[in-house]
Structure 1
Amino acid sequence: MKRIACLHGHFSNISLLADAFAPVEMDMVHYVDPGLLLNSEGNNALTKEQSQAKLVEQLNWMKTSDPDAMVITCTQYAACLTDEVEATSSLPIFTIDKPFFHEITHCSEPQILLFSNPATVEPTMTRLREYAQTKGLYPRIEVNVMEGAFALLMENKQDAYREAVKNELQKLSTGKHHAALSVAQLSMAPVAHQFTQETGIAVSHPLLSLVSQMIQKLNLKSFA
């Protein structure tokens, strides 16, 4: 059985990933450190170089569990992963956003991409644009940021956080019928899934594409 080491910026992502991979034969080891999230703004904000060094430190920590692969579920940590670190890693590294980039860059419709964490927007969109350019793709993406919502999650007010995300999706789906909807962060995936079930309005999220890619590339067995 393959072992996967998982890096999270918030403990709530553990259950989201565990549920998504429940039908898959694998052993998951979870590492949680919100340090990068807590030091992303203000006078104590880490520089780009410090953030990248922090991620390398985390990856070395995760390797102590002797995994077959590593996955980064936090978009802020994922944004710190350089091509050099990924290329020189002895283990496959999966990020929550890269499979998602493939999905949304191949969408021909105008899209609205919803973020709850403002600090994630710039590095995520930079990575997305770079990914799209390497594929010769030019997706039409409008960024929407929920001000103040991410603080609810960091304060462990998960019900209030999910309600805020749901309300924002409702507002966006009502106001801009021409645009496809997507949420950028794993923490919003359950709300996106529930919203689609309740309204019939499709909302893309990173979790589905991540699971699909990892099963394929690691040759994992699924019992679903």
Structure 2
Amino acid sequence: MIRLHCLHAHPSNQSYIEDVFGDTDLALYHTVDSSFIERATQDPTFDHHKQQAYAINKLMQEDKADLTLLTCTQYIAALGEQQHLFKQPIVPIDEPVFELICEKKESLQLVFSNPATVEGTMKRLESYAKDRGKQIDAEVIVMEDVFHLCLNGDMQAYEEQIKKQLRRCIKKSGDICVMQLSMVRASQQMEEETGVPIIHPLSPLKQFVYQTISALKE
């Protein structure tokens, strides 16, 4: 049985992954590492170099997994291009979304609720697109002063803020993509309410993980 180890920086992410893979033949194991986000948001000395060293050290401990799924975009940005250091494949939650974005011909609105993830994520997206010879037509929309609601566990207030932003996005031209896992439920609710499709990190995840597993077996 394939062991999929999921590394989360916030406990709310665990249920999203259970929803996607709960009916599959994968053995799911979850680790919640909340100390990373706490340090990243509260300790000014915890710079990118220290964050990367922390992420590498933590992932080196996940040696019993067949593959590891990272659900925190800030953790992913800290790791950068160091996936080659690990014997098991590392699947960043945003990479399947990158693939979808690169295939889009229309303009996109990329919505973030955590400003700290924007620079690292966009740098990785631009590198991903360049490697594949793709051009991205995207507007980056950053929500300010809302992510603390998620970190404090006030998910109802957090999701209301997400939906308020998505209503504004729907009035504009361009497809909408939310870039963080914590934004998924609000985006799904908006899809049901308005009928407007919204891309989110779970949309392509199952297929991407199974493609990675197939590559492992070859």
The TM tier, using the shorter chain, reads: over 0.9
Q: Alignment partner for residue 186 of structure 1, among 181, 188, 198?
A: 181
Q: Deviations 1:58-110 (Å, cap 9, x if unpaired)?
A: 112322xx221111000011112243x31231101101111111111221111
Alignment of 1:27-66 (within 5 A): 27-41=27-41, 44-63=44-63, 66=64
Q: Distance in 2 between matches of 1:209 and 1:147?
A: 27
The structure, 1 or 2, with the larger RCO (C-alpha pairs under 8 Å, 6+ apart) is 1
The AA in structure 2 aligned to 1:39 is R
Instruction: Find the residue that maps to 2:170 and give its secondary structure.
Output: helix
Instruction: Find the residue that maps to 2:61 and give its secondary structure.
Output: helix
Alignment of 1:179-218 (within 5 A): 179-218=174-213
Percent of residue pairs identical: 36
TM-score (norm 1): 0.91
Note closer, same or farther for the CA distance 1:162–1:45 as it changes in structure 2 (3 Å cut).
farther
Alignment of 1:125-136 (within 5 A): 125-136=122-133
Matched, 1:122 2:122: no
- Give 1:190 shift: 1.7
What corresponds to 1:222 in structure 2? Answer: none
Contact 1:31 1:62 in 2 (8 A): no
Alignment of 1:56-205 (within 5 A): 56-63=56-63, 66-83=64-81, 85-174=82-171, 176=172, 178-205=173-200
- Give 1:162 shift: 0.9
Unaligned 5+ segments in structure 1 are 220-224
Q: Deviations 1:20-72 (Å, cap 9, x if unpaired)?
A: 11221111111111233223346524221111111112112322xx2211110
TM-score (norm 2): 0.93
Q: Distance in 1 between matches of 2:141 and 2:100?
A: 18
Runs of 4+ off more than 6 Å: none
Q: Deviations 1:138-189 (Å, cap 9, x if unpaired)?
A: 1111111111110000000011111111111011112x1x211010001111
The AA in structure 1 aligned to 2:175 is A
Q: Distance in 2 between matches of 1:42 and 1:78?
A: 18
Q: Distance in 1 between matches of 2:162 and 2:85?
A: 38
The AA in structure 2 aligned to 1:158 is M
Q: Distance in 2 between matches of 1:211 and 1:190?
A: 17
